[in-house]
Amino acid sequence: MRQVIDNLEQAWPGIRERLLDQGKLRPNISIAVDGEVTPMGLLEPVTPSSEVHFIAAIKGGAPAPDAQRHL
């Protein structure tokens, strides 16, 4: 996923800052790969056919306050 974000940054400069804070996935964002939210974040492996979504993090019943959505 880190590589995916690097590639996205090349195509759409500035997107990395939306997703990462000091190199870490912002806590208000979850990554869903092929329809499933992964707990591995940037360490999640993906394949060329994987579908990736950055969605609002929901942690135990409450949402993150300023979640980035559907990018």
Partner 1 sequence: MKTQEYTVVGTRPVRHDGADKVTGRALYGADFQMAGLLYGHILRSQHAHARIRRIDTSKAEQLPGVKAIVTAGDFPQTPDRLVDLGEGDTPLSYARGNVLAKGKVLYKGHALAAVAATNVHIAEEAAGLIEVEYEALPCVLTAPEAMQDGAPILHDDLKTKEFGEQTGRVSNVAEHFRHVMGDVNAGFAEADVIVEREFHTATVHQGYIEPHNATALWNNDGRILVWCSTQGSFVVRDVTACLLDVPVSRIKVTPMEIGGGFGGKINVYLEPVAALLSKKTGKPVKIVMSRKDVFEGTGPTPGSYIKVKMGARKDGRITAAQAYMAYEAGAYPGSMVAPGAMCVFAAYDISNVVIDGFDVVVNKPSTAAYRAPGATNAAFAAESVVDEIAEKLGADPLDFRLKNAAKEGTRRADGPKYRRIGCVEVIQAMKNHPHYSAPLGGPNRGRGVAVGFWFNVGLPSSCTISVSADGTVNLVEGSTDIGGTRTSIAMQAAEVLGIPAEDVRPTVVDTDSVGFTAVTGGSRTTFATGWAAYEAAQDVVRQMKERAAKIWETEAASVTLERGVFHSADKRLTFPELAAKLDQTGGPVVGRGAVNPRGVGGSFSGCIADVEVDPETGKVTILRFTSVQDAGKAIHPSYVEGQMQGGSVQGIGWALNEEYYMNEAGSMMNSSLLDYRMPTALDLPMIDTVIVEVPNPGHPFGARGVGEANIVPPPGAIANAIYRAAGVRMNRLPMNPPAIMQAIWSQRD
Tokens encoding 50: 């994987």
- How many residues lie near partner 1 (CB under 8 A)? 31
For the bound state, the minimum distance from the C-beta of residue 71 to partner 1, rounded and expressed in Å, comes to 7
- What is the rounded distance in angstroms from the CA atom of residue 9 to the CA atom of residue 1? 12
Q: Does 60 bind partner 1 (CB under 8 A)?
A: yes
Q: Does 10 bind partner 1 (CB under 8 A)?
A: no
Q: Does 20 bind partner 1 (CB under 8 A)?
A: no
Question: Phi and psi of 7, rounded to 5°?
Answer: -65, -40
Q: Does 13 bind partner 1 (CB under 8 A)?
A: no
Assess contact for 60 and 22: CB atoms under 8 A: no
Q: Does 28 bind partner 1 (CB under 8 A)?
A: yes
